[in-house]
A = this chain, B = another copy of it.
């Protein structure tokens, strides 16, 4: 310790996992996100947060159950929240489950983290759609997983590519631990899996004994068309699918409440790995009151109108302002549009130029583990108002034109 700097001395003590993961974000002020146009993150709209209703739900929950809202809540979740969630899943998602199938987590993020802990040793194979959710990309790196990426088209994951990957794995004598996907308004592309595609994927996975990890964070935010059955609902039995969801997009991310619905054996082992002494009873009682009172259903209706409108504004702006050679997806729900740049441009250069003008965008490369995505950008229309969306697309269009010009010269 005296022979090295404190910093180096500590680094030498880190675990393999810490070294694989590297340092994370440190002191950040969320309020800074209001100072830029944030097409980069998947932030809910601040003005649509149910602040008054949450204040009222807190008052009621503390009055009725204060002693339990401020006490430890060990196990798989506060029963009041588990039961209202089970009702919501039955009513909205068409998912039939019982208390033994549910673990309430600190956002869907913790659910995904626990599932990686429970299934993935370094070198283990997991299969993922690509591009895929940043948080899961991060977990793949941290876990040391051998990731097999399957490309997406407008109807979901490419079934032929999945089948050949599954056959390759069989030939290699390797068992994939799970297939990760976001079937509704996918993050980052915004696409939604068709019913036929879901059936085909589920059957393939069943035949190869690979569970599906279904991350359905955006299910409730469908702007048009009918809901598509979940993988969990399509499965013969709960062992085949682990279904993750969250209240972050429909109530508030600051609550940090999500869930996983799965086979009781999975739930019990995730609970064993969840060593944070329980998901917060305080937020759980507040959200149980908010959700159970019916306020949630009404609030989701409002959110759909807000986000549908913002999607329409951004699509119209892109149509009007982006140069030829750009193409993008048209999501039927959720937060995201996936943009493909004209040939010769790199998303990192475009992002750097945009940041200088106060616009943050999602860098395509970050949504793959393979270095693909150089020509892609993720645009979130969820956080900014009409005027900011217009200004943001102005900046983006100008930057793309400038970089096209300099690319041509």
Give A contacts to B, CB under 8 Å: 1, 6-7, 9-11, 13-18, 21-31, 41, 43-44, 46-47, 49-51, 54-55, 58-59, 62-63, 66-79, 82, 99-100, 105-107, 109-110, 112-113, 117-121, 124, 135, 138-139, 142, 175, 177-178, 206-209, 211, 237-240, 248, 251-256, 263-283, 285-286
Contacts and interface: CB of A to CB of B under 8 A. Distances in A.
Contacts of A280: 106, 254-256, 280, 283
Given A14-B269, A15-B120, A276 B113 contact: yes
B278 A256 contact: yes
B18 A119 contact: yes
B67 A51 contact: yes
Copies in the complex: 2
Most chain-B Cβ atoms within 10 A of its Cβ — which of A23, A120, A124, A277?
A277
Given A58-B58, A68-B31, A70-B254, A26 B271 contact: yes
Nearest to A236: B6
A208 B361 CA distance: 48
Nearest to A33: B71
B255 A25 contact: no
A62 B55 contact: yes
A124 B18 CA distance: 14
B276 A255 contact: no
Given A14-B119, A70-B254, 6 more contacts: A27-B100, A30-B68, A107-B277, A109-B275, A142-B272, A256-B281
25 contacts: A1-B208, A13-B178, A17-B121, A21-B272, A23-B268, A23-B271, A24-B271, A24-B273, A25-B75, A26-B264, A26-B271, A27-B76, A30-B78, A47-B67, A49-B67, A70-B252, A70-B255, A71-B253, A71-B254, A109-B277, A254-B285, A255-B282, A256-B276, A256-B280, A282-B283
Most chain-B Cβ atoms within 10 A of its Cβ — which of A23, A120, A135, A254?
A254
Contacts of A70: 49-51, 54, 251-255
A286 B61 CA distance: 15
Given A10-B266, A58-B58, A106-B280, A254 B26 contact: no
